Amino acid sequence: MAETRCDIHTLIGDIVVLADSAVLLVKDAAEDRGWRLPGGPLRHGEHPEAAARRLLKEQTGVEPEYVELMEVESVPGTNWHLYFHFRTDLDRRPEPGPMIGDLRLFQLEHLPATQHGTWERDVIYRVVSK
């Protein structure tokens, strides 16, 4: 089956992975654009929860027992981005997948600079506070 692509919309799933008062962030191996939440684009026809689970496994090796959809965020731009923000608890030690250069747990009160300024930090705080 040929891959279907939309040049107007981008659907993205990410996941806030918590371990006590810390959150898991990753850095891409190909280019160091800063820390980010595990996640990425959905495949055509893929359910957002399935995408979040797949991306988390591919990027960190973690297969969570549960994931919970916390919010959906619409971000306009050249392409309209629709983000599905999920949450789960860390139940095993994460290991960087082939596309991930580094991963680390950060205390919520000491989050580093991220790829999109304070956007990831805002997402984390919103998800944690729900």
Question: Domain-by-domain residue ranges, the chain?
Answer: 9-129
In this prediction the pTM is 0.89
List, in sequence order, every beta strand (DSSP E) within the chain: 9-19, 22-28, 39-41, 68-75, 80-89, 100-107
pLDDT per residue over 13-52, tens digit each? 999 999 989 999 999 998 878 899 999 999 988 999 999 9
Q: Distance between CA atoms of 101 and 97, rounded to whole angstroms? A: 8
Instruction: Compute the average pLDDT of residues 58-86.
Output: 92
Q: Which residue has the higher pLDDT, 100 or 115?
A: 100
Domain 9-129 CATH superfamily: Nucleoside Triphosphate Pyrophosphohydrolase (3.90.79.10)
> Which has more confidence, 78 or 3?
78
pLDDT of residue 118: 87
